Amino acid sequence: MTFKEKYSIIPDYIAPNTKRRSGQQIYPAVKFIVAHDTGNPQSTAANNVNYFKRSAKEQEASAHIFVDDKQILECVPALTGKTEKAWHVLYNLPTDNKMFGYNANDAAIGVEYCYGTNINADEAYKRYVWVLAYICYKFKLDPNKSIVGHHILNPGRKFDPVSGLKASGRTYERLLTDIVAEYADCLKQVEVENVIVNRSGSVKTTSAVKLRAGQPNTKATCLKVIPANTKLEYIDWTDSGESVGGISKWFKDKDGNYFWSGATI
């Protein structure tokens, strides 16, 4: 089963063998995720990563991923390389061990939420929720049980991601609920022609179909006719398009055009 990859995760690594990136591998494996916010309103993902890179030799503090409204940047390898440790939670705290059996720096991925009046909160939140759900998928974690806020691990001293979420009118409790829903949605499957297909992937036409420009209906401009038995890649599907032969499920290609998978349209 595949996971719908809505966004790109861009590697922009801190130099290895420095205080912010030791190069040590996560051990024994990724066991949970810590949700953070930057605590620095107006700073973008790039701002934060660039600061970490400039100060790599100065301080033992880091995170794996920074998320804003435009980018998901990974500065310590987690999803785009062999997963390394990052220093995002103090070692002498007991809660991470009680909850998960491991120190967060040894066995958790740290994800930072960027916020502020210069950042589109809705877009940043969508990416934040998605990447947290994707990490669960990637490392076979239960999204209901495997995510914890920094404020829970270090109460009274840290308030993230509650503070960042509050700035955009959201709560930590809603974040957890939205991650579970996103995880389920990105794994959702649909049955077409008695074949189960994932949210993204490929299908084979059973007869000639017409690729329609930007709308899932037969009135949209036909861009080209695709022969039967053609393998087509798609990035999403909708079941709210015009019904054809009693089936209303249409697929969307990478250019935003639609086609129906079964019969001549």
Boundaries of every domain in the chain: 10-186, 189-260
- CA distances for 30 relative to 2, 63, 131, 144, 260, angstroms: 20, 14, 15, 16, 40
Report pTM. 0.74
Contact between 76 and 14 under an 8 Å Cβ cutoff? The reply is yes
| Tokens, residue 225 | 């006719």
Q: Considering only the top CATH level, what class is 10-186?
A: alpha beta
Q: What confidence score (pLDDT) does residue 45 get?
A: 98
Q: Indicate if the alpha-carbon torsion angle 20, 23, 24, 25 is positive or negative.
A: positive
Q: What confidence score (pLDDT) does residue 227 get?
A: 86
Q: What confidence score (pLDDT) does residue 8 get?
A: 93
Beta-ladder partners of 84: 25
How many Å apart are CA 1 and CA 52, to the nearest integer? 36
With H, G, I as helix, E, B as strand and everything else as coil, classify residue 255: coil
Residues of the chain scoring pLDDT < 50: none
How many Å apart are CA 83 and CA 87, to the nearest integer? 13
Q: What is the DSSP letter of 265?
A: -
Q: What confidence score (pLDDT) does residue 228 get?
A: 82
Write out pLDDT tens, residues 12-60.
Answer: 999 999 999 999 999 999 999 999 999 999 999 999 999 999 999 999 9
Q: What confidence score (pLDDT) does residue 5 get?
A: 86
Contact between 216 and 241 under an 8 Å Cβ cutoff? The reply is yes
| Tokens, residue 221 | 């401009």
Contact between 196 and 251 under an 8 Å Cβ cutoff? The reply is no
How many Å apart are CA 84 and CA 25, to the nearest integer? 4
